[in-house]
Chain A
Amino acid sequence: MKRDKIRTGTVLRLLAFAVLLAFLLAPDRFAGLLTPLTNNGAPAIYNQGTLLDLTLSHLFTVGLSTVAAAIVAIGLAIFVTRPAGAEFLALSRAIVNIGQTFPPVAVLALSVPIMGFGEGPTRMALFLYGLLPIFENTLVGLSTLPPAVVETASAMGMTGRQRLLKVELPLAMPLIVEGIRLSTVIGLATATIGSTVAAKGLGEVIVAGLLSNNLAFIVQGGVITGVLAVLISDGFEALAHRMAKRRGASSEARQSDPDGQGSSA
């Protein structure tokens, strides 16, 4: 039963990916589908730049910011969970809690006065906001390890560094990946809004559709971003799930977290 369900999901995702790829590579072939949504002979396919280009820029912006956020956030989370950084632990928890109440779009807008228009503010907002889920999840991962395991690692004669690299980080990894997933999903959404501050990305298509009242643009922009986000998110989820599964039920239980943040932006 269960296996069948998983297989249907995988097939659906592969299918979605294939259609997405086909659409990005040869959008004009799909023009017929979208023409009914246009008025007065307006173009059915976005024509101010290729959709593939926009998709790649979009992904690049998100990827760059998320990688940077992951490096900084994981580093900080490691720092505050070591004895040397312990005095910053309580504060950093509070900052993350407060920070996550900030709407990502507000962070984006507030970056504009500092960075001007273009890719800059989008990257900065994505980076800043992306820190929060990764930091929080890494922190949870590193601070909820089974005490018996951490203690034995010391008792076996691992140095602090060996314990971190061989035991703590690998065990926290499913949660860290989940944090990166959340950051990426929020990033994909915020980058879409980034088009309103002139960042190159898929939001451009939706904005153009809204401005020229062209439903076909709105729908194709919306569907591409939506499918992209769902596929990427599922990829991370599958990765985290695989990591968690290998080490058994104890760490999987930690995955279902009722306080998990919503992920949209």
Chain B
Amino acid sequence: MIELSHLTKVYGDTAVVNDVNMEIEAGTITVIVGTSGSGKSTLLRMVNRLVEPTEGRVFLEGNDVSTMPPHELRRSIGYAIQNHGLFPHWTVARNIATVPMLLGWDRRKVDARVEELMELFQLDHAQFANRYPHELSGGQQQRVGVARAMAAKPALLLMDEPFGALDPIIRSKAQTDLKAIQRRTGTTILLVTHDMAEAVHLGDRIAVMDGGLLKQYAPAADILARPADAFVDDLIGSADRPFRYLTLGRVRAAVEPGVAEGAPLAADASLYEGLGELLWSGRDAAPVIDDAGAPLGRVSLVGIAERAARPK
């Protein structure tokens, strides 16, 4: 649904984005990961024309975005950034209502949408609707920022380091929540980060950028298994690679017949969590149960280790 074609941006003598071609499937989360100065934010900002490309085109559902008036284009695309960019002089409710109001929705529809979103993002309407941004915690501000970006039900949501300002615990919850919300709404998300763990956690597909070039664009597992070059390899971190790889798999996939002692593992837990539990409790194996609590078999250290090895 989104196609980036030969996208290039030159500032002075440097091409900060250099001939990038990408196709992004609707309803998925695509994460662009890279170091600072890799051109990842510029690439993102060319999609909603906050930056105009020097060369190349962006197509949304087959339409060239350069032919649409910028403000109309942007009203159809959600946008959330690291420092949330909430309007400090407006209440939470008014902030969330920004784009619906710009689109001229009627009052009741706007109010209903604001309430719906606040519930979706676990912000108590009665408590928070009339507060000002500076009265919220960092995590709450960030949620309002994302809720605002999704207010007019955009098919596409652009996010630039949306969790960068949060502390690790809140960040991890925010990532999990975002993924759950995305699965419910089916919004296409294009997210920029410098954090490979976040990319692996969230991304259906990952695009690695360096020096303006798109180094690799593939599903997360492929990036981990077959990094295209030394840079991608570095970004993953060779010591972390097997563990990152395990975060992608579910315990369910490693279940073998048999029984084991001790507390059971949930089938939907990641292999990474399963490994941690086994190592910490000093067991070689643990029983596995499904959502309903029915036993499925067991998972063993050896079984997990096999799945952490480089795929053949």
Write the residues of chain A forming the contact surface with B, with a CB cutoff of 8 angstroms: 146, 148-149, 151-159, 162, 167, 170-171, 246-251
Contact = CB atoms under 8 A, between A and B. Distances in A.
B248 interface: no
B88 interface: yes
Interface string B56-74: 0000000000000011111
Nearest to B82: A148
B135 A248 contact: yes
A247 B89 contact: yes
A151 B89 contact: no
Contact of B88 (A156, A159, A247): A247
B74 A155 contact: yes
Contacts, number: 72
Given A156-B74, A157-B73, A162-B102, A250 B88 contact: yes
Interface residues of B, number: 27
Nearest to B91: A246
Contacts of A171: 87-89
B85 interface: yes
Given A156-B98, A157-B99, A167-B87, A249 B134 contact: yes
Nearest to A251: B88
Contact of B102 (A158, A246, A248, A251): A158
Contacts of A148: 81-85
Interface in B104-131: none
B212 interface: no
B8 interface: no
B98 A247 contact: no
A154 B50 contact: yes
Contact of A155 (B50, B89, B133): B50
B199 interface: no
A149 B87 contact: yes
Contacts of A156: 74-75, 79, 98-99, 102, 148
**Residue picked from A148, A167, A170, A249, most chain B C-beta under 10 Å:** A148
Sorted nearest first, the 4 A-B pairs with minimum C-beta distance are A248-B134, A152-B85, A157-B75, A157-B74
21 contacts: A146-B85, A146-B88, A148-B81, A149-B86, A149-B87, A151-B50, A152-B79, A154-B50, A155-B50, A155-B85, A156-B102, A157-B71, A157-B75, A158-B71, A162-B102, A167-B89, A170-B89, A171-B87, A246-B132, A247-B89, A247-B134
